[in-house]
Amino acid sequence: MTGTNTGPHPAPTDSSRIHAILGMVGDKWSLLVVCNLRHGPRRFTELKRAIDGVSQRMLTVTLRNLERQGILTRTIHQVMPPHVSYELTPMGATLCATALPMVEWAFENSARIDDARTKYDARALKTG
């Protein structure tokens, strides 16, 4: 993983670095945005519609953040009516490739997780 750490587990310093990066690009809205750009550029309103539940503010914040980290580009088209499109950079495309399996995992396992949580809570009630 590190290129220098040959042991079975990451060295301590790796964790803080990884943690920082995951904090920048690995939050839930960011992964959903990145996955929604996998087929090419999309406009603000398209993303807003596609990512159900995201507020206008959070979508703006997330897009600015991803642009800042070099994950996507923002292009203003001076046509009538004017509009803005977002597109993955090459680095963003590689993130998309690794993020998609995670998103698919989340979808495929949602029922199993709901189930586990219900059981855990029921057991916690009895135990106290």
Residues that bind its own copies in the complex, under the rule CB under 8 A: 1-2, 8-10, 12-29, 31-32, 35-36, 39, 49-54, 67-70, 91, 94-95, 98-99, 101-107, 109-110, 112-113, 115-117, 119-121
Burial class (CB in 10 A: 0-12, 13-18, 19+), 89: middle
Q: Shortest approach of its own copies to residue 54 CB, angstroms?
A: 8
Residue 106, SS3 per DSSP: helix
Q: Shortest approach of DNA to residue 9 CB, angstroms?
A: 15
Cross-strand bridge partners of residue 87: 73
Question: From DNA, its own copies, none, which one binds at residue 83 (CB under 5 to 8 Å depending on kind)?
Answer: DNA
- How far is the C-alpha of 101 from the C-alpha of 18, rounded, in Å? 19
Tell the residue number behind the tokens 């990884």, with chain if given.
18
Question: From its own copies, DNA, none, which one binds at residue 2 (CB under 5 to 8 Å depending on kind)?
Answer: its own copies
Instruction: State which residue, 80 or 96, has the beta carbon closest to its own copies.
Output: 96
Q: Where are the beta strands (DSSP E) in the chain?
A: 42-43, 72-77, 83-88
Q: Shortest approach of its own copies to residue 57 CB, angstroms?
A: 16
Question: From DNA, its own copies, none, which one binds at residue 67 (CB under 5 to 8 Å depending on kind)?
Answer: its own copies
Residue 101, SS3 per DSSP: helix
